[in-house]
């Protein structure tokens, strides 16, 4: 029988559980958009820029655990979206990248948008499918969606030539009876046996275990909590793992445990003789530029066999998903009767350490500006525990990581390993589309907002009540701090001043101004009301960045110490000399 290519693709998307596509229609894929408009269960979303489309699909997944799709025209549509695709690839976010291709039924060269798209995306996608005929369409799209979610998640690219959308395609009558193919060594890890009893024995025999978790453990928070309490083990997280272990718990240590963590966290972590790392890869950002080393023997658990023994050698490497591993080890510990009971001394030290840090972060330093930790505390108090926070590349991410206290996974989103500026606003929009009943907050630096802030037009059209705080210091704050520390001056890191209120008015967005700590509660409550009514809100915040984060101080030290001694002296001498001028 014959079917339109757009119909085949739309059916595959719906059957794969995809409910939203993000992109901009073009001449090559208008047939697909026409079909999507008439397809129940799937909504095409128009964006202002394809870079934002990638960040929206990213935020959609991180907030909900459901995958979304990029729907891209050839050439420029794909190249615009590459930053979002690369962010998803580096941060292990699944995404179906549906890239239209030029017509392959014409023997013509120099067609519009004609580039080698598969070669372009190969470094930042798990796999690339190039469809040759209509009979491949449904199965290939389903396979790509399955592959994106299997093993270590990530984006998968599918190129559909425009002629398959334009023309009727011959397909077998049973084309929807699809079953997943064999995807390689990661595909059946959940069924492979591992020595749960041995791992349980190593953990039980340790004097203290440090548990370090990433976003790979987001699907098993209850099992993680059970293990931590059985072992009475302090728990540290990566940036992406923030909230996977409840940060109000007495064993919650800090996001990280090396030079970029406060002294109490470094000291307690250093007392462990076994580190159990689950669902993480020890990337540069999470480790504070490799400024931490796992104490004692390392047991590294991750579904991706490429990450174990890469940055730190493991005493035991276990290639399993976090949920399966935690269930097996918890059961093994229960069978052995091992349970330590609360260590009141350890819990007191963690509690007192957090209190000291909290007092430091809340101490006012500029009465005419807004303390970031105080702002975050008020947001949590007013908006509640279900709120999703999207941060941007730079200082805002580190402040939120240190200032927020989250008790649930999928509440913190940040561009981590690729670290794209402009992430927060579109990611927040994607998150709000995925979880419309939950408050969603974007924390955007004033430089990052210039990149994708106009995407609030999409939020207005879709009636998505996202709340965007533009953290204004008129600098690229993180880079400026690095420059001041290393060079004693700043270069090309000042952000031109602009009228946030005027931008809000031009987009039809509610506007609020926050100039000092005294107004935080009132402004947050007003923003909450607008957001609940489906009205996007833009808040101009005079943020106080005068206090460096623990993270900033730690990575400066870590990078300096890795330099040869002569260069350390040169860097320090130059900075001191310029400060004395």
Tokens of 78: 């794909």
- What contacts 494, CB < 8 A, 6 or more positions away? 474, 475, 476, 480
> In this model, does residue 420 exceed pLDDT 70?
yes
CATH number at 242 reads 3.40.50.1220
**Does residue 486 share a domain with residue 547?**
yes
Beta bridge partners of 211: 235, 276
User: In the predicted model, is pLDDT for residue 189 greater than 70?
Assistant: no
Rounded distance, CA 256 to CA 290, Å?
11
pLDDT digits (tens, 9 = 90+) for 88-106: 999 999 999 999 987 887 8
Identify whether residues 70 and 209 lie together within a single domain.
no
For 480-488, the CB contacts below 8 A with 24+ separation are 481/395, 481/545, 481/548, 481/552, 482/552, 482/556, 485/556, 485/575, 486/556, 486/571, 486/575, 487/574, 487/575, 487/578, 488/574, 488/575, 488/576, 488/577, 488/578, 488/579, 488/581
- pLDDT of 167 reads 84
DSSP state of 156: E
Q: Is the pLDDT of residue 215 over 90?
A: yes
- pLDDT over 70 at 45, yes or no: yes
Is 50 a member of any domain?
yes
CB 469 within 8 A of CB 442: yes
Same domain? For 231 and 143 the reply is no
Q: What CATH number did the domain enclosing 17 receive?
A: 3.40.50.970
Nearest to 379 by CA among 459, 439, 444, 432: 439
Return the minimum-mean-pLDDT range out of 185-194, 324-333, 423-432, 513-522.
Answer: 185-194
- Domain stops at, among 140, 170, 200: 170
Over the Cα atoms of the chain, what is R_g? 25
Residue 97 and residue 89: Cα distance in Å, rounded?
Answer: 11
Residue 416 to residue 134: CA distance in whole angstroms: 38
Domain range for 217 is 189-349
Task: Tell me the percentage of the chain whose pLDDT exceeds 90.
Answer: 77
Q: Do 539 and 498 lie in a common domain?
A: yes
Q: What is the pLDDT of residues 455-510, one digit of tens each?
A: 999 999 999 999 999 999 877 777 777 767 667 777 776 888 999 999 999 999 99
Whether residues 260 and 144 share a domain: the answer is no
Lowest-pLDDT range, 1-5, 161-165, 261-265?
1-5
**Percentage of residues in the chain having pLDDT higher than 70:** 97
Do 140 and 219 lie in one domain? The reply is no
94 lies in a domain? Answer: yes
Q: Please give the mean pLDDT across all residues of the chain.
A: 92
Q: What is the pLDDT of residue 192?
A: 60
Do 328 and 298 share a structural domain? yes
CB atoms within 10 A of CB 565: 8
Residue 581 has pLDDT above 70, yes or no: no
Judge residue 358's burial from the number of C-beta atoms within 10 Å of its C-beta, 0-12 exposed, 13-18 middle, 19 or more buried: middle
Residues 120 and 199 in one domain: no
Q: Are residues 337 and 372 in the same domain?
A: no
Residue 179 makes CB contacts below 8 A (sequence gap 6+) with none
pLDDT digits 0-9 by tens, 286-327:
999 999 999 999 999 999 999 999 999 999 999 999 999 999
- Both 451 and 543 in a single domain? yes
Q: CB within 8 A of 97, min separation 6: which ones? A: 69, 70, 72, 81, 85, 121, 125, 155, 156, 157, 158
pLDDT, tens digit, 9 for 90 and up, residues 224-261 = 999 999 999 999 999 999 999 999 999 999 999 999 99
Residues 6+ apart with CB under 8 A from 346: 232, 234, 251, 268
Model confidence at 555: pLDDT above 90: no
Does a structural domain hold residue 575?
no
- Count of domains for the chain: 3
At 311, give phi and psi (nearest 5°).
-95, -25
CA-to-CA distance for 562 and 165, rounded, in angstroms?
A: 55
Inside any domain, residue 182: no
The string of pLDDT tens digits covering residues 67-76 is: 999 999 999 9
Which residue, chain included where needed, has tokens 């890239």? 99
The residue-averaged pLDDT of 407-413 equals 97
For residue 71, count CB atoms less than 10 angstroms from its CB and return exposed for 0-12, middle for 13-18, buried for 19 or more.
buried
* For range 404-408, the mean pLDDT: 97
Integer Cα distance of 36 and 41 in angstroms: 9
In terms of domains, do 222 and 343 share one? yes
Residue 392 forms part of a structural domain: yes
Task: Give a yes or no: residue 570 inside a domain.
Answer: no
Asked whether residue 293 is assigned to any structural domain, the reply reads yes
Residue 577 lies in a domain: no
Q: What is the pLDDT of residue 185?
A: 47
For 104-128, b/e burial (b = at least 16 CB within 10 A) is beeeeeeeebeeebbebbeebbbbb
- Does 157 lie in the same domain as 266? no
Give me the pLDDT at residue 186, please.
52
């Amino acid at each position: 029988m014959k079917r339109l290519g757009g119909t085949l693709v739309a059916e595959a998307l719906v059957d794969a559980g995809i409910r939203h596509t993000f992109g901009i229609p073009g001449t090559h894929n208008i047939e697909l958009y026409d079909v999507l408009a008439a397809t129940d269960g799937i909504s095409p979303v128009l964006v202002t820029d394809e870079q934002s489309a990638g960040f929206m699909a990213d935020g959609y997944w991180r907030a909900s655990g459901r995958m979304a799709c990029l729907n891209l025209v050839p050439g420029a549509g794909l190249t615009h979206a590459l930053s979002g695709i690369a962010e998803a690839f580096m941060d292990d976010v699944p995404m179906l990248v549906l890239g239209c291709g030029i017509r392959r039924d014409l023997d013509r060269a120099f067609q519009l948008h004609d580039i080698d798209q598969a070669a372009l995306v190969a470094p930042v996608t798990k796999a690339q499918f190039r469809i040759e005929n209509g009979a491949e369409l449904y199965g290939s799209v389903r396979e790509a969606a399955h592959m994106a979610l299997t093993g270590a998640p990530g984006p998968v690219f599918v190129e559909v030539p425009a002629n398959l959308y334009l023309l009727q395609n011959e397909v077998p009558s049973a084309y929807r009876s699809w079953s997943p193919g064999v995807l390689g060594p990661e595909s059946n890890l959940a069924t492979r046996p591992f020595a749960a009893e041995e791992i349980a024995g190593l953990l039980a025999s340790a004097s203290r275990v440090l548990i370090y978790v990433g976003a790979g453990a987001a699907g098993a928070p209850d099992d993680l909590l059970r293990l931590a309490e059985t072992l009475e083990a302090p728990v540290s997280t990566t940036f992406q793992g923030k909230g996977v272990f409840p940060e109000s718990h007495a064993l919650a240590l800090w996001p990280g445990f090396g030079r970029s963590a406060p002294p109490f966290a470094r000291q307690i972590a250093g007392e462990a003789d076994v580190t159990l790392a689950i669902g993480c890869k020890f990337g540069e950002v999470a480790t504070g530029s490799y400024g931490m080393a796992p104490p004692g023997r390392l047991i590294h658990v991750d579904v991706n066999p490429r990450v174990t023994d890469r940055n730190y050698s493991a005493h035991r490497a276990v290639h399993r998903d976090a949920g399966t591993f935690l269930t097996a080890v918890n059961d093994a510990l229960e069978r052995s009767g091992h349970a330590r009971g609360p260590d009141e001394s350890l819990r007191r030290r963690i509690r007192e350490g957090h209190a000291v840090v909290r007092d430091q972060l809340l101490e006012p330093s500029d009465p005419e500006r807004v303390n970031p930790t105080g702002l975050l505390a008020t947001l949590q108090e007013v908006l509640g525990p279900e709120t999703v926070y999207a941060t941007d590349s730079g200082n805002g991410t580190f402040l939120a990581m240190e200032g927020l206290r989250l008790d649930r996974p999928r509440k913190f989103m940040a561009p981590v390993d690729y670290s794209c500026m402009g992430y927060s606003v579109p990611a927040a929009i994607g998150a709000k589309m995925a979880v419309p009943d939950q408050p969603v907050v974007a924390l955007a630096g004033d430089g990052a907002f210039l990149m994708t802030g106009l995407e609030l037009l999409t939020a207005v059209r879709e009636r998505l009540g996202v709340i965007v705080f533009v953290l204004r210091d008129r600098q690229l704050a993180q880079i400026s701090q690095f420059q001041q520390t290393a060079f004693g001056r700043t270069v090309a890191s000042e952000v031109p001043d602009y009228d946030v209120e005027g931008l809000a008015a031009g987009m039809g967005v509610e506007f609020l101004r926050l100039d000092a700590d005294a107004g935080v509660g009132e402004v947050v409550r007003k923003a909450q009301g607008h957001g609940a009514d489906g009205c996007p809100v833009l808040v101009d915040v005079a943020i106080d960045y005068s206090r460096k984060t623990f993270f900033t101080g730690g990575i400066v030290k870590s990078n300096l110490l890795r330099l040869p001694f002569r260069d350390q002296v040169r860097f320090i001498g130059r900075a001191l000399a310029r400060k004395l001028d």
